[in-house]
Structure 1
Amino acid sequence: MSVTAAFDIGGSKIEFARVDREGAVTNRATLPTPHTNWGDFVAALRSLVAADGGHATRIGISIAGTTDSATGIAQAANVPVVNGHHLENEISAALGVPVRVGNDADCFALAEATVGAGRGKPIVFGAILGTGVGGGLVIGGRMVRGANGVTGEWGHGPILAEAVAARGIPVIRCGCGQIGCLDSYGSARGLERIHGAFTGASLTSHEITQAWHAGDADAARTVDAFVELIAGPLSVIVNTIGPWVIPVGGGLSSDPALLERIDLAVRARVLGRYDTPLVVPGRTRGASGLIGAAMLAEELPA
């Protein structure tokens, strides 16, 4: 019997589950992520598989990092134990089953394109609006893997320096080293940064959106700027790749009114006509990494 299992590996925990072809997730289990010892890391993966009975015939892995398309070597700031390792080959050898590995945002996009909001659509761009801004691209039901393992990273690139400076928002250096990245302003921390620049107040993103929903004028000004800063770059993505839908994941995706504002702003800026919502909440949130990793593994022979 063919059994597809998946790992969703983040900085704090490794989550394991079985996933069927319709995206149903069962047998979930977690362990803390070992950060320094490769042997401990592999042992954690092996123990999760063994606890499920060791029945997996193929495994998909979603990880918060990149895998070089040419070399297969991983780089993950939040999971340093994997850096320099060829994850697919080494984990496959350790566990005795074929393995596929994808970036977490790419796996979100694949999950949405196969069983989520983009199911059956020819081109799906999955966008992440959470602690950072990320994305993934799926064409014809297959994850697109770019050079150096980078695809869909619309949150990075020095494109907003002038726009934020014109609004009186501090222009800061992103963690990637560039100045003026959308990641610094279109994320949850970015929403907080914009509000702080406008008001001097230190509020969480949730407190800001709550105040906006309650009719607070300062919060409304913050949300207006936030939406404008996101809509421009995202409209370029739409005009470039022509997605049928953009499912959104990450913490900010849980606010339907905010996504509706972003959707309307993006559709007003693109060349194509979209008569129905383009930017929509993802449907696989909470399990997207596991589902996307499993769908990636489905490309492997059982």
Structure 2
Amino acid sequence: MDRRGGGVILCFDIGGTAIKTAEAWPDAPVRPTGRIPTPAHDFDAFVAALRGAIAAASAPPSRLAFSLAGIVDGAGVATAANIPCLTGRHVRRDLEAALNRPVVIANDADCFALAEAVEGAGRGHDVVFGVILGTGVGGGVVVRGHLINEGGGFAGEWGHGPVLRDPALPIIRCGCGQTGCLDALASARGVERIDAHLNGPARASEAIVAAWAAGETGAGRTIALWLDILSGPLAMVSNLLGPGIIAVGGGLSNTPALIAALDVAVRARRLSPSAHPLIVPAQCRVEPGLIGAAALGRSAAF
């Protein structure tokens, strides 16, 4: 292995359904190389799939970099709901032993944030907060090109923790086991829950946002409440981190007017309101997991 950081880094974006792969060379764009099914329930089969990707690389990789749809805690233990064979494992240690190469790993939200910091909306900013507003509410924090939690842990997971106690809102038990989490009412599913509670009958978040954009009164009530729920906690996180930019990905980021409305609401609630946009749609719309994994691998190599 070239300890000066040379050689190819083989990148993996691990999801519950598919494993995407890419090669990252020093000073060259990330090159996607394919995808294979994820053997989610069998660790030996999972390792065999990775070995196949390593064997197919254009050169022997100097290290392996992973974006994982799950959490790796500070002790290195993974929790991956859709990849049960990794849950409970010291995943970096086990993969290094099985694959005989250095491994770096971060969750998919962290890799998204890192991609935005190095190649997306966060370029040129010391502190970048990458926010996911989609099936869930998540995020990652990058400071001067490095994940704030490079050693593992939950930094950036601002969607969990009991913050909602309005008696007018439905009490939703979050997937993390708590009630009153942003994840339960500020995600795309949360928009649907709010809308059904206010207006009924149930409709998809895409339809609600489209109706809001078209001026429908009911959808307007839904989005106004969604903005109120989300903007206060996001302003507080912004005060804590002091990001130069907050890049938003996930399904709800696909409507620029919605993100612009969130930006206005958050800037009005910050300690120091800004005249310039703070919250913007993500720019790395294709393969941010692989781009982030590559950045993680390059950082470790040097």
TM-score (norm 1): 0.93
Residues 189 and 21 (structure 1), Cα distance of their counterparts in 2 relative to 1, 3 Å cut = farther
Residues 128 and 27 (structure 1), Cα distance of their counterparts in 2 relative to 1, 3 Å cut = closer
Q: Alignment RMSD, CA only?
A: 1.8
The alignment partner of 1:138 has SS state of strand
Instruction: State the Cα distance separating 1:34 from its structure 2 match.
Output: 1.1
1:129 — aligned with what?
133
Report the Cα distance in structure 1 between the residues aligned to 2:135 and 2:33, rounded to whole angstroms: 24
Q: 1:33 aligns with which of 31, 38, 49?
A: 38
The alignment partner of 1:271 has SS state of coil
The alignment partner of 2:300 has SS state of coil
Which deviates more from structure 2 when the two are superposed, residues 32-41 or residues 85-94? 85-94
- Verify the 8 A CA contact 2:19 2:38 in the aligned structure 1: yes
Report the Cα distance in structure 2 between the residues aligned to 1:84 and 1:105, rounded to whole angstroms: 20
The residue type paired with residue 279 of structure 1 is I
- Verify the 8 A CA contact 1:8 1:290 in the aligned structure 2: yes
The alignment partner of 1:36 has SS state of coil
Report the Cα distance in structure 1 between the residues aligned to 2:146 and 2:88, rounded to whole angstroms: 26
Instruction: State the Cα distance separating 1:59 from its structure 2 match.
Output: 1.6
- Verify the 8 A CA contact 1:21 1:295 in the aligned structure 2: no
1:197 — aligned with what?
197
Structure 1 residue ranges without an equivalent (≥5): none
2:14 — aligned with what?
9
Which deviates more from structure 2 when the two are superposed, residues 80-89 or residues 239-248? 80-89
Q: 2:142 aligns with which of 135, 138, 142?
A: 138
Report the Cα distance in structure 1 between the residues aligned to 2:135 and 2:276, rounded to whole angstroms: 28
Residues 28 and 254 (structure 1), Cα distance of their counterparts in 2 relative to 1, 3 Å cut = farther
The alignment partner of 1:6 has SS state of strand
1:260 — aligned with what?
260
- Verify the 8 A CA contact 2:24 2:31 in the aligned structure 1: yes
Report the Cα distance in structure 1 between the residues aligned to 2:151 and 2:230, rounded to whole angstroms: 25
How many equivalent pairs are there? Answer: 297
| Map 1:169-208 → 2, pairs under 5 A | 169-208=169-208
Report the Cα distance in structure 2 between the residues aligned to 1:279 and 1:34, rounded to whole angstroms: 37
Residues 160 and 108 (structure 1), Cα distance of their counterparts in 2 relative to 1, 3 Å cut = same
1:112 — aligned with what?
116
Instruction: State the Cα distance separating 1:296 from its structure 2 match.
Output: 0.8
1:3-59: per-residue Cα shift (whole Å, max 9, x none)? Answer: 122111111111111135568332331111112111000111111222233532222
Residues 23 and 208 (structure 1), Cα distance of their counterparts in 2 relative to 1, 3 Å cut = farther
Residues 128 and 21 (structure 1), Cα distance of their counterparts in 2 relative to 1, 3 Å cut = farther
1:64 — aligned with what?
69
Report the Cα distance in structure 1 between the residues aligned to 2:282 and 2:237, rounded to whole angstroms: 18
Instruction: State the Cα distance separating 1:183 from its structure 2 match.
Output: 0.2
Q: 1:42 aligns with which of 40, 47, 62?
A: 47
Report the Cα distance in structure 1 between the residues aligned to 2:240 and 2:225, rounded to whole angstroms: 24
Identity across the alignment (%): 48
Instruction: State the Cα distance separating 1:155 from its structure 2 match.
Output: 0.6
Report the Cα distance in structure 1 between the residues aligned to 2:101 and 2:230, rounded to whole angstroms: 41
Residues 137 and 252 (structure 1), Cα distance of their counterparts in 2 relative to 1, 3 Å cut = same
The residue type paired with residue 182 of structure 1 is L
1:152-188: per-residue Cα shift (whole Å, max 9, x none)? Answer: 11111110122xx33xx31111111111100011100
Report the Cα distance in structure 2 between the residues aligned to 1:49 and 1:120, rounded to whole angstroms: 34
Report the Cα distance in structure 1 between the residues aligned to 2:235 and 2:279, rounded to whole angstroms: 11
- Verify the 8 A CA contact 2:8 2:59 in the aligned structure 1: no
TM-score (norm 2): 0.93
Report the Cα distance in structure 1 between the residues aligned to 2:103 and 2:262, rounded to whole angstroms: 37
